[in-house]
Each structure stands twice: as structure tokens, then as C-alpha cells.
């Protein structure tokens, strides 16, 4: 094997310490090793950094173990090329693994170019990512609290959610607050809280509440849930204010992404926080889609391809793109993705179709950020084209390919001409 890095370092990072092994290859492929152990305190990490510089080692590889690699990366990234590897690509052989051997194993793999680094965005994007991911957690917490609040009324024989569409609308919120804080139930008072179209359902609402059983302890619990929900909403609003300040340098990119059907401002911020604005980090749109977990894996043996699923990667980006895909296929202003979704769903099912649309959106995002052009796919003109004209267009393209193949067979054109035409 060819040695890619003559001098490099493999690092095995833990919570309290790290083990580093510098590998130097001077003559041939026979390396020499230097191993040291450092704590994860900042002073010791700086000592580790100076040790690397003294040995003229500017290439470091370590696996992404939780968040333990981040402090080391923060102090090294200014002057040392740090490669963060997925643990599955540097996994040691079972039975021959310990803390002292792991760093040597990582360094040997990295030295021979067998380790592919993970995408690590700039520090500004990483900070933005921390905020968007925290907002995602708070949003999930908000959804959980809403379900808990609604279930609390269900166990108290209140079937209000069977009549109203939103338990947290103005009318429903007034009724639930009344039930929590009142010792008695007055139907007329309850009807007075109803607004707009709910006034027609007054009798149904009263019927869904009458006979309810709610103790003081249950009321107190509901009040606590409601207070917590209000607090979470306040924190989300506070995060949104901070996010608006953080994304100010990326307003042009956000506006650009919002031209893509299905992507709103919040979705655009989430996408930028995960992939950044520099698409040079990814070799192609296919590589980006694979990194986001929107590409099926390969499972082939003895010439037989087995069914595979998409990977687990992109735990934050993939749900955001799927949400954008759902919005895109429901868009009434632009049926581009809707037409593609319906065509794919007939063959592959709705779930695979929505994943395919999510991948299309991410591919478009890649090219938009790479070129700076607004969303304008090459086949957009076919959206409003009648089915008869679409069929004629397909026949035309088929005839052109057949003509190219004929000219190639008689030696008038080269085989590259067909590739360029397609």
C-alpha cells in the first residue's frame, strides 16, 4: 500500500484522557512510533498540540466519540489538519483492542489513506447548528407536553379533543383553563368562551364535558404541565430571536433556498446549519445525499442484489428535508414536486416517494448553493405541458438516442457523443 502521510498522528479520545501515537515513515513503508498520554484539560491539550508541532506532525486523525473530540478539535484546528473519522471506519479487530492499541490502529489506517474524514463545518456554522438542534429538542418537548396535557383531560372523562380540532386554540384554551381553575361547571359560562365556527358546536362541547371527574391533584398537575408548556414557548421565542441575529450573514443564502418549493425560512436555517454554505466540502450532490442519509446502501453478493434501506445518517437534516418534501408535494402554487411524487408513488409507494422528493430537494440545494442560482430545474417546463405533448417529447428524445446509436454503429460518431447528448 502507498503511504499517504509520512508523518501523522492517531488519537484515541476519552472523557478524561487521550492517547496519541505519532507515526513517522522515513525509508520505505516501515514506520516508527511515539506514544504519549494526555488529560483532556485545556492545559494538557495545548501541551499535546506543542508536542505535535515539535515533531512536525500536522495531520491528525481521531474518531468522533460523542462530544469528547470537540475540545481537542477546537484547540488544534487553527494550525493542524484534523480528520474526524466515523467510528465504524476505524473499528479495531475484536480481541486485539485496548486504549493503548487504538491510537496506533487509527494512525496506521490514516497513514495509508484508508480513513475518510467526516464533514466538520466552520465554527460559525457549528454554533448555529447548536442553536437549531436545541430548538428542535425544545419543539419535541413542546409536542410531548401538548400530548401530556391532552391525555390528562382524557383520563378525567373530558372528550373535548373529539369535538375541537385544536386543543390549544383560543376557545379550547379558555375552556380548559376554566375547568382547571373552577370548582363547578356552568354550561352557559363554557359556551361564552366559544368563538366563530365553534359556536355552532356548543351543545356538542357541553356534552363532551358533562360528567367529568377531576380531582384537585389532577387539576394541579394540569396546571404544572400548562406552566411548563408556556415556559417552553418562551424559550423557543428567545431562541428564534437569537437565531435571527446569528443568520444575518447568511440572509442571501436563506433567500436563495426559499425559492425552492417546500422550503420556508425556518427550514432553510436548519439546512444551512447542517451543511453550511460551502459545497466544496462535498465532491458531488450524490455525496451530500449519502451523507444526509437519503441514499440506500449496497448489499450485493454472488451477483445478487438484496433489498436495502436508507442509512441512519442525518438525524437532524433528514427529518427537516422530509418535512420540506411533504410541504412541496402539497404546494398549490407549484406542482413540480407533486407530479414527480405521484409518479414515483405509483411504482415504489408513498414512503419511498417522499424520500425521493427529499433527495431531489437536497440535490437542488447543493446546486443552488454551488452556483448561486435560484431554483429553476431543467424540466420545469413540463409541469404545465399537456400529457399529449409530454408523450411526443418522450418519443422525440427516444428517436434522437436511436439516431445517435445508429451513427455510432456506422462509425460516423464516437461513443462519447451519446454520453454528451444524454
Q: What is the CATH number of the domain that holds 146?
A: 1.10.287
* Same domain assignment for residues 326 and 400: no
Reported as a single tens digit per residue, the pLDDT across 338-397 is 989 999 999 989 999 999 999 999 999 999 999 999 988 877 666 555 566 556 666 777
Q: How many CB atoms lie within 10 A of CB 411?
A: 7
In three-state form (DSSP H/G/I as H, E/B as E, the rest C), the secondary structure along the chain is: CCCCCCEEEEEEECCCEEEEEEEEECCCCCEEEEEEEEECCHHHHHHHHHHHHHCCCCEEEEECCCCCHHHHHHHHCCCCEEEEECHHHCCCCCCCCCHHHHHHHHHHHHHCCCCCECCCCCHHHHHHHHHHHHHHHHHHHHHHHHHHHHHHHHCCCCCHHHCCCCCCCHHHHHHHHHHHHCCCCCHHHHHHCCCHHHHHHHHHHHHHHCCCCCCHHHHHHHHHHHHHHHHHHHHHHHHHHHHHHHCHHHHHHHHHHCCCCCCCHHHHHHHHHHHCCCHHHCCCHHHHHHHCCCCECCCEECCEECCCCECCCCCCHHHHHHHHHHHHHCCCCCCHHHHHHHHHHHHHCHHHHHHHHHHHHHHHHHHHHHHCCCCCCCCHHHCCCCHHHHHHHHHHHHHHHHHHHHHHHCCCCCHHHHHHHC
* Same domain assignment for residues 240 and 254: no
* Same domain assignment for residues 241 and 261: no
- Residue 56, domain member (yes or no): yes
* Same domain assignment for residues 393 and 353: no
**Alpha carbons 339 and 337: distance in angstroms, whole number:** 5
* Same domain assignment for residues 226 and 255: no
* Same domain assignment for residues 242 and 165: yes
Average pLDDT over residues 166-186: 89
The domain tally of the chain equals 4
Beta bridge partners of 85: 63, 117
pLDDT band at 93 (very low <50, low <70, confident <90, very high): low
Average pLDDT over residues 86-99: 73
* Same domain assignment for residues 255 and 366: yes
* Same domain assignment for residues 138 and 231: yes
Reported as a single tens digit per residue, the pLDDT across 278-290 is 998 888 899 999 9
- Residue 120, domain member (yes or no): no
Residue 389, pLDDT score: 58
Which range is least confidently modeled, 26-35, 210-219, 302-311, 410-419? 410-419
Residue 305 has pLDDT above 80, yes or no: no
Residue 95, pLDDT score: 60
- Residue 212, domain member (yes or no): yes
- Residue 378, domain member (yes or no): no
Average pLDDT over residues 392-421: 73
The answer to whether the CB of 298 falls within 8 A of the CB of 308 is yes
Residue 392, pLDDT score: 67
Residue 329, pLDDT score: 94
Query: Among residues of the chain, what percentage have pLDDT more than 70?
Result: 90
Reported as a single tens digit per residue, the pLDDT across 44-74 is 999 999 999 999 999 999 988 888 999 999 9
- Residue 214, domain member (yes or no): yes
* Same domain assignment for residues 213 and 267: no
- Residue 381, domain member (yes or no): no
* Same domain assignment for residues 347 and 359: yes
Answer whether 0.85 is exceeded by the pTM: no
Q: Of 185, 214, 246, which residue constitutes the final position of a domain?
A: 246
**Alpha carbons 47 and 41: distance in angstroms, whole number:** 10
- 141 versus 90: the higher-pLDDT residue is 141
CA proximity to 5, closest of 89, 75, 106, 90: 106
Reported as a single tens digit per residue, the pLDDT across 237-275 is 999 999 999 999 999 999 999 999 999 999 999 999 999
**Alpha carbons 322 and 328: distance in angstroms, whole number:** 10
- Residue 321, domain member (yes or no): yes
Q: Of 246, 277, 303, which residue constitutes the final position of a domain?
A: 246
Residue 198 has pLDDT above 90, yes or no: no
Q: Which domain holds residue 414?
A: 387-421
- Residue 308, domain member (yes or no): yes
Q: Identify the CATH number of the domain in which residue 100 sits.
A: 3.30.420.40
Residue 96, pLDDT score: 65
Residue 142, pLDDT score: 95
Question: Three cell numbers at 309?
Answer: 434501506
Place of cell 440545494: 365
**Alpha carbons 191 and 380: distance in angstroms, whole number:** 52
Q: Of 88, 111, 134, which residue constitutes the final position of a domain?
A: 111
**Alpha carbons 108 and 46: distance in angstroms, whole number:** 24
Amino acid at each position: 500500500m502507498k503511504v499517504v502521510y509520512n508523518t501523522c498522528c492517531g488519537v484515541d479520545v476519552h472523557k478524561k484522557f487521550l492517547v496519541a501515537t505519532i507515526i513517522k515513515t522515513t525509508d520505505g513503508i516501515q514506520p516508527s512510533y511515539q506514544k504519549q498520554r494526555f488529560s483532556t484539560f485545556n492545559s494538557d491539550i495545548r501541551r499535546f498540540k506543542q508536542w505535535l508541532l515539535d515533531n512536525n506532525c500536522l495531520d491528525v486523525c481521531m474518531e468522533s466519540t460523542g462530544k469528547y473530540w470537540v475540545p481537542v478539535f477546537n484547540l488544534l484546528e487553527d494550525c493542524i489538519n484534523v480528520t474526524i473519522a466515523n467510528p465504524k471506519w476505524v473499528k479495531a479487530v475484536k480481541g486485539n483492542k485496548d486504549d493503548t492499541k487504538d491510537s496506533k490502529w487509527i494512525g496506521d489506517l490514516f497513514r495509508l489513506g484508508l480513513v475518510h474524514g467526516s464533514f466538520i463545518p466552520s465554527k460559525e456554522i457549528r454554533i448555529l447548528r447548536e442553536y437549531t438542534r436545541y430548538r428542535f429538542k425544545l419543539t419535541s418537548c413542546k409536542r410531548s407536553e401538548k400530548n401530556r396535557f391532552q391525555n390528562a383531560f382524557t383520563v378525567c372523562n373530558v372528550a373535548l379533543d373529539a369535538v375541537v380540532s385544536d386543543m390549544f386554540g383560543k376557545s379550547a384554551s379558555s375552556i380548559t383553563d376554566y375547568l382547571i381553575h373552577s370548582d363547578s361547571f356552568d354550561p352557559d359560562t363554557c359556551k361564552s368562551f366559544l368563538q366563530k365556527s365553534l359556536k355552532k358546536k356548543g351543545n356538542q362541547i357541553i356534552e363532551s364535558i358533562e360528567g367529568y371527574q377531576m380531582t384537585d391533584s389532577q387539576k394541579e398537575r394540569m396546571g404544572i404541565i400548562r406552566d411548563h408548556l408556556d415556559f417552553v414557548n418562551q424559550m423557543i421565542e428567545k431562541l428564534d430571536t437569537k437565531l435571527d441575529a446569528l443568520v444575518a450573514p447568511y440572509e442571501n443564502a436563506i433567500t436563495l433556498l426559499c425559492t425552492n418549493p417546500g422550503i420556508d425560512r425556518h427550514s432553510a436555517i436548519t439546512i444551512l446549519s447542517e451543511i453550511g454554505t460551502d459545497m466544496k466540502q462535498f465532491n458531488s450532490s450524490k455525496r451530500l445525499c449519502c451523507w444526509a442519509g437519503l441514499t440506500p446502501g449496497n448489499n450485493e453478493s454472488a451477483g445478487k442484489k438484496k433489498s436495502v434501506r436508507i442509512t441512519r445518517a442525518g438525524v437532524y437534516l433528514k427529518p427537516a428535508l422530509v418535512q420540506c418534501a411533504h410541504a412541496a408535494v402539497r404546494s398549490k402554487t407549484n406542482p413540480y414536486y407533486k407530479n414527480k411524487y405521484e409518479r414515483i408513488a405509483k411504482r415504489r409507494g408513498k414512503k419511498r416517494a417522499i424520500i425521493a422528493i427529499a433527495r431531489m430537494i437536497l440535490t437542488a440545494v447543493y446546486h443552488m448553493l454551488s452556483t448561486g442560482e435560484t431554483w429553476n430545474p431543467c424540466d420545469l417546463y413540463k409541469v404545465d405541458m399537456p400529457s399529449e405533448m409530454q408523450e411526443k417529447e418522450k418519443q422525440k428524445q427516444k428517436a434522437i438516442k436511436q439516431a445517435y446509436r445508429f451513427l455510432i454503429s456506422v462509425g460516423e460518431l464516437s461513443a462519447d457523443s451519446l454520453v454528451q447528448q444524454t
